[in-house]
Amino acid sequence: MANIKSQMKRNLTNEKKRAANASFKSSLKTAIKNVEAAVAKSDKETAQTALNFAFKKLDKSVSKGIHHNNYASRQKSRLTRLVNTI
């Protein structure tokens, strides 16, 4: 444990940010799984809606610095190809 007061404060803010990032990553994974589930059911309308929401989440994760731009691009490409198979 840190003895320096500023480092103790920093540890608290780091923990808050870690929890927020973990929550956001979890919601992103859920959004991606919703797209995959809609494709599995061959529901084009739901898949397209879920895809748009997943795109929004991916873009937000890049702007927040949670994920790298290449990760978001790769996931977008993968999900788009998946939806286009319907």
* CATH code assigned at 33: 1.20.58.110
Tell me the pTM. Answer: 0.88
The reported pLDDT for the residue numbered 56 is 98
Please write the tens of the pLDDT for every residue from 9-21.
999 999 999 999 9
Please count the other Cβ atoms lying within 10 Å of the Cβ belonging to residue 29.
Answer: 12
Read off the pLDDT of each residue in 17-33 and give the average, rounded to a whole number.
Answer: 98
Please write the tens of the pLDDT for every residue from 38-49.
999 999 999 999
The reported pLDDT for the residue numbered 2 is 85
Query: Locate tokens 């808050």: which residue?
Result: 16
Alpha helix segments (H runs only) across 41-68: 44-64
At 20 the three-state DSSP class reads: helix
Position 33 pLDDT exceeds 90: yes
Give the CA-trace dihedral at 76, 81, 82, 86, to 10 degrees.
140
Q: Which domain holds residue 62?
A: 5-84
Contact 68/62 with Cβ under 8 angstroms?
yes
The reported pLDDT for the residue numbered 17 is 97
Per the structure, how many domains does the chain have?
1
